[in-house]
Amino acid sequence: MRCPQCGAPDSQVKDSRPTEDGAAIRRRRVCGACGQRFTTFERVQLRELVVVKRSGRRVPFDRDKLHRSLQVALRKRPVDPERIETTVSGIVRQLESGGDSDIPAETIGRLVMEALKGLDDVAYVRFASVYKNFREAKDFETLLGELAGDDTAAGGGAR
């Protein structure tokens, strides 16, 4: 594994352990050239996923982009980073276990919305405002009305 600090091509594994959800192996590494310590994750990949954008353009699925999207929505919210990682793993598992390697971007957005709704209401609204391309305050009011209806049925706010 290439060192992120100096770019040396080799590093040594110092410690390996499964992640909390068991979906990956966390490896602590040290660079033989500069001594930098860093962490890598090894995951099983069932198939190569391709995201089909609204424009029809096809791009390789990027797990890190999904993770960053959730982190942005959850920025400054009281959600444990391990729960974010577990959520990302769950979404990826759903995508990989589906019948097709071509995944519409809308499907990923819908899965993220569902996941955020269960994690944090504020993050859900943040993501929805971008994903659904809100243009005016009325769009927020409508979404908040739907969320309030769900909370009444579910019995709570942020989880």
Measure the CA dihedral 120/69/128/125, to 10°: 30
Written as six digits, the tokens of 100 are 């097709």
Where does the pLDDT of residue 122 fall: very low under 50, low under 70, confident under 90, or very high at 90 and above?
confident
Strands 24-31 and 11-18: antiparallel
pLDDT score recorded for residue 59: 93
Global confidence as pTM: 0.62
Q: Could you tell me which of 71, 84, 88, 5 has the C-alpha nearest to residue 39?
A: 5
Residue 14 backbone phi and psi in degrees, to 5? -100, -30
Reference 158, options 118, 110, 112, 115; nearest CA is: 118
73, 113 contact by CB (below 8 A): no
Amino acid sitting at position 135: R
The pLDDT assigned to 37 comes to 94
- The per-residue pLDDT for range 24-78, each reduced to its tens digit, is 788 999 999 999 999 888 876 666 889 999 899 999 999 899 999 899 888 888 8
Give tens-digit pLDDT for 69-96.
899 888 888 888 888 888 888 898 888 8
CA distances from 105 to 35, 47, 131 (A): 41, 17, 10
CB within 8 Å of 145: residues ≥ 6 apart:
none
